Amino acid sequence: MSVASASATRRFHRPAWMTAPVVLGAVIVVFWVFTLFTVHWWAPYDPTMLAGQRFSPPGWTNWLGTDALGRDILSRSLYGVRQSLPIAVAVIGCSVMVGVVLGALAGYLGGLIDEVIMRAVDVTLSFPPILLAMAVTASLGPGLRNAAIAMVIVWWPIYARLMRAQVLAVREREHVEAAVASGARPARILFKHILPLCWSPIIVNATMDFGQIVLLAASLSFIGLGAVPPTPEWGQMISEGALHFYRWWIAAGPGIAILSIVLAFNFLGDGLRDMLDPRSK
Amino acid sequence: MSEGSLLSISGLTVSFAGRAGGRLTAVRGVTVEVAPGEVLGLVGESGCGKSATMMAVMNLLPDSASIGGSVRFRGEELVGRSEKFLRGIRGKRIGMIFQDPMTTLNPLLTVGEQIAEGIRIHDRTVTSRQAMERAVGLLETVSIPSPRQRAAQYPHEFSGGMRQRVVIAMAIANDPELLIADEPTTALDVTIQAQIMELLQRLCAERRMGLVLVTHDLGVVAGAAHNMAVMYAGRIVDYGPVDAILTRSRHPYTRALLGSQPRVDRRVEQLDAIAGAPPSLAAIPAGCAFHPRCGMAVDRCRTEQPADRDFGVERVACHRAEQVEKHFRVREGVS
């Protein structure tokens, strides 16, 4: 207790979790979110229209160069966030929902239900995520929506497992026993005394997973299972770049975009973890 | 079994499913009674089954436990009743106070919300505002200063003693007839202990609540309880009014426990520890469970389990109860 209150006073000026990487991560995420909503007002060119010569290297007219069709890579990279971020939000959101519900049920009810859910989790997690996502997308047909569904199928078990572990730990806490002793029903105990205490690792993991999902979505597009041309999508742009290997700038723009967003969410997740669990350091 | 008894436990057994299909018996036939307004001290070393006994009353034990015998609350049997029935009793007619106030409160609910929740669980006609009003009143009852402001605070903003007051407020929120306090002061400073005990005693007297005080602290029992029961290896070995037991117990274990306590009225160079350790549940000695550690044990103690015997107000399970007085007088004279 004394440790926590000591850090609380220190937090008055600069919270301990607010390190340079966390601030950088937050700035980058804010930038991308801002771009997501406003890019059509300030992007230099329309992402699907000709914006100059084919294959022109970075220069004054096209800061990050143009691609094989003469489209502006900077504009396409900026517009790319309109594919990646909403997909990541949707995939993480759905995965968390499914995973949390199933994980909580498994942890709280135990027995056969636990066994069935956790074996499904084990089976899913035993595949490399990209492989399973590829297989599912391929069977559903290419396209961003199907890729998103595939990613949810690959990703929910992570949260189910996390949630189950949390529920198992929290249900042994004394305040849960006290709630039982006060005559509370099982549903009330689960929703009021167990679940609210289980969120912090889920939040931290979900934040970090944003980056992973952006990457996975780009990977699926890269191999042609995600976004369909001419949609500006990072993975797909990189795969175009791979066709023209010596024109490095074609892949550089979307590459930097992916790098920045993955890094930013990792930094942010680290900061969140320090903030939500001061003891983890 | 007297008419006026509030809680009457008889022949209660509790056993847990152990590894390799075996069963570990934690409570081996406990018989004890609590009258309204009575404070019963249930004492014993760690692992003697005192907590298991009281948890069995409301069936708060894990699923691996099985409970036998009978627990009657106002004449109504509690053993083997449905969860639904027990939920109506828990927190409503029997309140429970746990050992560690630091962990008994939900950290994410304000203190007022937690007390109010306990009220609304048992009476859905109470609005949340009314429940909150009652919660504030309860905080006042347990002597928390500026209760209205405190009700809006979270548990981490309270000190240990204050939290235990909150826990007590939750336990008495629905005017229970019986309170079970499982080591309510163990986690607290000695000065706070005294305040909490005073509060519990006052509440019991005012509301004619029965109180079962589970503890290993003889000092707490001496100060607060009317009757006391001494448990050893899952049985009550010595039971009677506190004064009688503390001054002239007829059980060598009780005597030994008292001998291991420091005293203010006499200079003691070295406390008499009881040799050995309490038996593990898996290997309870034959005969009297205490015989390996008992200075008075004879052959009969090793083979025959002593029955409960009444000596006036005291109930003792010892073959040699008659000789205890003399034995310990002699020993004290020597030292």
* pLDDT value of residue B335: 45
The token duo for B33 is 């009674």
Among chain B residues, CA nearest to A196: B108
pLDDT tens digit string along B183-239?
A: 888 888 888 888 889 988 998 998 899 999 998 888 889 988 999 999 999 999 999
Question: Which pLDDT belongs to residue B113?
Answer: 93
Highest mean pLDDT among A220-229, B145-154, B286-295: B145-154
In this predicted structure, the answer to whether residue A88 has a pLDDT above a threshold of 80 is yes
Return the SS3 of A149. helix
B88, B122 in Cβ contact below 8 A? Answer: yes
Decide if B121 and A182 are in contact by the 8 Å CB cutoff. Answer: yes
Query: pLDDT tier at A278 (50, 70, 90 boundaries)?
Result: low
Structure tokens at A125: 């997690």
Q: How confident is the model over B255-287, as pLDDT tens digits?
A: 888 888 877 777 777 777 888 888 888 888 888
Decide if pLDDT at B119 tops 50: yes
> In the prediction, which pLDDT does A80 show?
92
Q: Give B90's strand partners.
A: B94
Amino acid at A225: L
Region B103-113 average pLDDT? 92
Please report whether residue B99 resides in a domain: no
Judge whether B196 lies within some domain: no
The three state secondary structure string of chain B is CCCCCCEEEEEEEEEEECHHHCEEEEEEEEEEEECCCCEEEEECCCCCCHHHHHHHHCCCCCCCEEEEEEEEECCEECCCCCHHHHHHHECCCEEEECCCHHHHCCCCCCHHHHHHHHHHHHCCCCCHHHHHHHHHHHHHHCCCCCHHHHHCCCHHHCCHHHHHHHHHHHHCCCCCCEEEEECCCCCCCHHHHHHHHHHHHHHHHHHCCEEEEEECCHHHHHHHCCEEEEEECCEEEEEEEHHHHHHHCCCHHHHHHHHCCCCCCCCCCCCCCCCCCCCCHHHCCCCCCCHHHCCCCCHHHHHCCCCCEEECCEEECCCCHHHHHHHHHHHHHHC
pLDDT, residue B173, reads 92
Residues of A in contact with B99 (CB under 8 A): 174
Question: In which residue are the tokens 């492989």 written?
Answer: A131
Does residue B106 sit at the A interface (CB-CB below 8 Å)? yes
Q: Quick one: tokens of A82?
A: 């309109």
Give the per-residue pLDDT at A1. 43
| Structural domain contains residue B235 | yes
Average model confidence (pLDDT) for chain B? Answer: 88
Domain count, chain B: 1
Residues 6 or more apart in contact with residue B125 via CB below 8 angstroms:
none
Distance from CA of A198 to the nearest CA of B (A): 11
Whether residue B201 is contained in a domain is answered as no
Beta bridge partners of A96: none
pLDDT, position A70: 87
Q: Give the pLDDT score at B192.
A: 85
Angle, CA of B78, B84 and B90, to the nearest 5°: 60
Q: Is residue B93 part of a domain?
A: no
Q: With cut-offs at 50, 70 and 90, classify the pLDDT of residue B323.
A: confident
In this structure, the strands spanning B23-34 and B7-17 are antiparallel
Q: Which residues pair with A111 in a beta bridge?
A: none
pLDDT of residue A134: 92
Q: What is the pLDDT of residue B263?
A: 73
The C-alpha of A192 sits at a distance from chain B's nearest C-alpha, in angstroms, of 9
- Residue A36 backbone phi and psi in degrees, to 5: -50, -45
Query: Domain with B30 in it: what CATH number?
Result: 3.40.50.300
B333 or B224, higher pLDDT: B224
Question: What's the pLDDT tens digit per position in A253-273?
Answer: 999 999 999 999 999 998 888
Whether residue A4 is predicted with pLDDT greater than 80 in this model: the reply is no
Residue B200 placed within a domain: no
Range B41-55 average pLDDT? 89
Closest residue to A185, CB basis, from B87, B98, B99: B87
Q: If 0-12 CB within 10 Å is exposed, 13-18 middle and 19+ buried, where does residue A257 land?
A: buried
The percentage of chain A sitting over the pLDDT mark of 90, rounded to a whole number, equals: 63
How far off is chain B from A114, nearest CA to CA, in Å?
17
User: Are A4 and B156 in contact (CB < 8 Å)?
Assistant: yes
For residue A170, list chain B residues with Cβ-Cβ distance below 8 A.
none
Residue B304, C-beta contacts closer than 8 angstroms, at least 6 positions apart: B287, B288, B319
CB proximity B60 to A under 8 Å: yes
Percent of chain B scored above 90 by pLDDT?
47
Say if residue A27's pLDDT is above 70: yes
Contact between A113 and A195 (Cβ < 8 Å): no
Task: State the pLDDT at residue B78.
Answer: 92
Q: Which chain A residues are closer than 8 Å to B108 by Cβ?
A: 196-197
Chain A residues with CB under 8 Å of a chain B CB are 1, 4, 173-175, 177-185, 188, 192-193, 196-197
Residues A249/A3, Cβ–Cβ less than 8 Å: no
**B131-186: pLDDT as tens digits:** 999 999 999 988 899 999 999 999 999 998 899 999 999 999 999 999 999 988 88
- Domain holding B241, by residue range, is 1-85+179-189+206-335
Optimal mutation site among A173, A174, A182, interface B, most CBs of chain B within 10 A: A182
pTM of structure: 0.80
